């Protein structure tokens, strides 16, 4: 059995402060099985995130996404994804995540919280990585957080599908959400 | 508020056009209702002319654009949506990302002289409208034996069609008001 490096697995605190998103060097995307065989990916152009870490150890990550900013390779598909079949962006102008806990063990981060899409809120947990803090060229302190989780889109009212002639459906209900955040100390 | 009625029948004495008139009489005051009468003028959908659609298509797009909601009454041909209605919706659906039916509240009902009241045509019309991006009322109003009841308001009432239409129209109007509030 390989000895586990005790220091790597010890829980550590995130650095105290308010951490604001660097939107240029961050991303929020999704991946979903399409036509059974392939993985289709898309992303959102407009999103925000703030991490608050208090001196007493309290911490909260809040993220918001504008679903109208969805980016896929076809404008007609983008239109369909904004329609009532999917994100219904006329009625719902925000996807929101609020954390209930963030645990960092070594370079691994475990996030739990509530995700709201289309007015439906469900608990989610995500695993990912934490890197930092580190000073950038301009002297600003940065941290990196990345998370990935799988959600059932039908729990959020995104129910569209199409049966395929030889079985199966055009789109999987399971969607992988991938978020990469570069956060700067405010 | 303005509701545009579209009958999926070209027949002069259409039961579905009559069903639209019956529905119009149930709309609350202050709601304007007009029946579109140009379906017969819409040529076959041609992708080569999406960008320079004929005048008849422009007129339909403009009428839908000027309406706050759309009410469709469709017959059923061979267990499905009438070809000319589907054809018109195909024209209206382009350009797909910004078409005039996108987010527009739409309700569908249907009458047939048989026993099933155009249920499959209604289901398929709703499916097409959802694909186009309309905000579709998820209800149907099957009106069987239409030749016996659509012109007789007492029979419309005793058959339950009247109360179904009241419910459908209430939901259509609620969706439209909700949309007005979002825009305000």
CA dist., res. A155 & res. A98, Å (int): 17
Q: Does some domain include residue A181?
A: yes
Least confident of A23-32, A91-100, B152-161: B152-161
* H helices present in B48-160, as ranges: 55-66, 83-92, 119-132, 146-149, 153-158
Q: For residue B172, give the H/E element and its range.
A: helix B161-183
Q: Which residues of B touch A82 (CB under 8 A)?
A: 133
CB contact under 8 A, A79 and B97: yes
* pLDDT for residue A68: 96
Q: pLDDT of A61-71, one tens digit each?
A: 999 999 999 99
- Kindly state whether B97 is in contact with chain A, defined as any CB-CB distance less than 8 angstroms: yes
Residue B131 to residue A90, Cβ atoms within 8 A: no
Considering only residues A1 and B21, tell me which one the structure prediction assigns the higher pLDDT: B21
Q: How far is B164 from chain A (nearest CA, A)?
A: 24
Partner residue opposite B133 with nearest CB, options A75, A83, A91: A83
Q: Torsion angle of alpha carbons A152, A154, A158, A163, nearest 10°? A: 100
What is the CATH number for A166?
2.40.128.110
Task: Give the CA distances from residue B95 to residues A72, A151, B61, B88, B99, in Å, rounded to whole numbers and listed in that order.
Answer: 17, 32, 11, 14, 5
| Domain assignment of residue A75, yes or no | yes
Place of tokens 């659509």: B150
Q: Tell me the shortest Cα–Cα distance from B110 to chain A, in angstroms.
A: 23
For residue A9, pLDDT over 70 is answered with no
Residues in B closer than 8 angstroms to A85, CB to CB, are 130-131, 133
- pLDDT at position A115 is 98
Sketch the domain layout of chain B as residue ranges.
Answer: 2-183
Of A78, A80, A90, the CB nearest to B182: A90
For residue range A91-124, list pLDDT tens digits in order: 999 999 999 999 998 889 999 999 999 999 999 9
| Predicted pLDDT at B54 | 96
A76: which chain B residues are within 8 Å (Cβ-Cβ)? 95-97
pLDDT tens, position by position, A118-167: 999 999 999 999 998 999 888 899 999 999 999 999 999 999 988 898 88
Rounded Cα distance between B144 and B159, Å, is 10
For residue A55, the model assigns a pLDDT of 92
In a domain, A162, yes or no: yes
CATH of domain B2-183: 3.40.50.360
- On whether residue A74 sits in a domain, the answer given is yes
Q: Is the pLDDT of residue A5 over 80?
A: no
- The A-side interface with B (CB below 8 A) comprises 75-76, 78-80, 82-85, 90-91, 160
Decide if B136 touches A, using CB distance below 8 A. Answer: yes
**B33-87 pLDDT per residue, tens:** 999 999 999 999 999 998 899 999 999 999 999 999 999 999 999 999 999 999 9
Distance from CA of B169 to the nearest CA of A (A): 19
What's the confidence (pLDDT) of residue A6?
A: 47
Residue A4: its pLDDT value, please?
Answer: 47
Q: Residue A97 region, left (φ>0) first, then alpha (ψ -120 to 50), else beta?
A: beta
Query: For chain A, how many structural domains are there in total?
Result: 1
Q: Give me the mean pLDDT over the A4-13 stretch.
A: 60
Q: What integer pLDDT is reported at residue A138 of this predicted model?
A: 87
Best CA proximity match to B178, nearest among B141, B137, B129, B125: B137
Q: By C-alpha distance, which of B114, B108, B112 is closest to B70?
A: B108
Nearest CA in chain A to B126: A85
Give me chain A's average pLDDT, please. Answer: 92
Q: Say whether B36 sits in a helix, a strand or coil.
A: strand
Output the pLDDT for position A120.
98
- CA dist list (Å): A13 to A61, A108, A147, B74: 14, 12, 17, 64
Closest residue of chain A to B95, computed from CA coordinates? A76
- In 3D space, the residue among B102, B95, B103, B24 whose CA is nearest the CA of residue B57 turns out to be B95
Average pLDDT over residues B165-183: 94
Beta-carbon-side half-sphere exposure of residue B158 (alpha carbons within 13 Å): 7
Across B108-114, average pLDDT:
95
pLDDT value for B53: 94
Contact B96 A90 (CB under 8 A): no
Give the chain A residue nearest B136 (alpha carbons): A84
Query: What interface predicted TM-score (ipTM) does this complex get?
Result: 0.74
How far off is chain B from A153, nearest CA to CA, in Å? 18
Helix (H, G, I), strand (E, B) or coil at B113: coil
Taking Cα atoms as reference points, which of A66, A61, A65 lies closest to residue A143? A61
Range of the domain at A87: 17-185
Q: How many CB atoms are located within 10 Å of the residue B30 CB?
A: 6
Q: A12 in a domain, yes or no?
A: no
What is the DSSP code string of chain A?
-PPP-HHHHSEEPPPSEEEEE-GGG-EEEEEEEETTTEEEEEEES-EEEEEEE-TTS-EEEEEEE-GGGEE-S-HHHHHHHHSTTTT-TTT---EEEEEEEEEEETTEEEEEEEEEETTEEEEEEEEEEEEEEEE-TTS-EEEEEEEEEEEEGGGGT-----B-TTSSBSEEEEEEEEEEEEEEE-
What are the tens digits of pLDDT across the range A36-70?
899 999 999 999 999 999 998 899 999 999 999 99
Q: Do B96 and A79 touch (CB under 8 A)?
A: yes
Q: Pick from B106, B89, B112, B121: which is nearest to B161 by CA?
A: B112
**What Rg do the C-alpha atoms of chain A give, in angstroms?**
18
Q: Given CA atoms B46, B49, B53, B56 in this order, what sign does their dihedral have?
A: negative
Nearest chain A Cα to B102, which residue?
Answer: A83
- Tens digit of each residue's pLDDT (9 = 90 or more) over B133-148: 999 999 999 999 999 9
Q: What is the pTM of this model?
A: 0.82
In this structure, what token pair is assigned to residue A117? 């899409």
A11 located within any domain: no
Q: Which of residues 24-63 of B touch A (CB under 8 A)?
A: none
- Give the burial class of B40: count Cβ atoms within 10 A of its Cβ; 0-12 exposed, 13-18 middle, 19 or more buried: exposed
Per the CB < 8 Å rule, is A78 touching B103? Answer: no
| Assigned token pair, A16 | 């105290």
């Amino acid at each position: 059995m390989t000895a586990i490096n005790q220091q790597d697995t010890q829980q550590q605190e995130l650095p105290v402060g308010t951490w604001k998103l660097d939107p240029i060097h961050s991303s929020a995307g999704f991946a979903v099985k399409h036509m059974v065989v392939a993985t289709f990916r898309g992303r959102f152009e407009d999103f925000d995130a703030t991490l608050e870490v208090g001196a007493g150890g309290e911490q909260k990550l809040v993220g918001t996404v504008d679903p109208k900013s969805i980016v896929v390779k076809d404008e007609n598909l983008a239109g369909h994804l904004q329609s009532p079949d999917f994100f219904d962006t006329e009625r719902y102008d925000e996807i929101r995540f609020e954390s209930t806990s963030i645990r960092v063990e070594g370079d691994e981060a475990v996030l739990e919280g509530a995700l709201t899409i289309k007015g439906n809120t469900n608990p989610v947990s995500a695993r990912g990585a934490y890197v930092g803090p580190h000073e950038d060229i301009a002297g600003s302190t940065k941290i990196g957080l990345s998370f990935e989780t799988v959600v059932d889109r039908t729990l959020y009212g995104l129910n569209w599908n199409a049966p395929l002639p030889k079985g199966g459906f055009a789109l999987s209900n399971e969607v992988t959400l991938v978020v990469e955040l570069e956060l700067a100390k405010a | 508020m303005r509701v545009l009625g579209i009958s999926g029948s070209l027949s002069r004495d259409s039961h579905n056009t009559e069903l639209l008139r019956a529905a119009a009489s149930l709309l609350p005051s202050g709601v304007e209702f007009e029946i579109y009468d140009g379906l017969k003028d819409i040529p076959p959908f041609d992708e080569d002319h999406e960008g320079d659609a004929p005048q008849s298509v422009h007129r339909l797009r403009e009428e839908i654009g000027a309406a706050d909601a759309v009410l469709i009454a469709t017959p059923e041909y061979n267990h499905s949506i009438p070809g000319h209605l589907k054809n018109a919706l195909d024209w209206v659906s382009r350009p797909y990302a910004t078409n005039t039916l996108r987010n527009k509240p739409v309700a569908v009902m249907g009458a047939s002289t048989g026993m099933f009241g155009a249920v499959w045509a209604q289901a398929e019309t709703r499916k097409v409208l959802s694909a186009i991006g309309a905000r579709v009322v998820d209800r149907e109003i099957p009106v069987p034996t239409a030749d016996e009841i659509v012109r007789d308001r007492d029979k419309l009432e005793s058959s339950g069609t009247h109360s179904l239409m009241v419910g459908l129209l209430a939901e259509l109007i609620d969706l439209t008001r909700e949309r007005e509030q979002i825009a305000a």
